A = this chain, B = another copy of it.
């Protein structure tokens, strides 16, 4: 069967996030105050063939470890639909 997967990859807490810092500095200049703790990560959507949702999740988790994320500095979350 074909499954849709969403992978959310975010920088780990404590890891520098230059994109987030840049946005955090830019927003007040545009008139948006009161915004804090901005973190920027990746969202990856894909379709995959698998025998069932558990197999689909396991394969996507493996892909995260090997290619989609950097487990040293990023955390990831997989949603299968």
A residues neighboring B (CB under 8 Å): 8-10, 20, 23, 26-27, 30, 32-50, 59, 62-63, 66-68
Contact = CB atoms under 8 A, between A and B. Distances in A.
A1 to B, nearest CB: 11
A36 B48 contact: yes
A23 to B, nearest CB: 7
Contacts of A32: 48, 59, 62-63
A44 B67 contact: no
Contact of A63 (B9, B27, B44): B27
Given A10-B43, A42-B41, A48 B67 contact: no
Given A40-B42, A42-B43, A43-B43, A48 B34 contact: yes
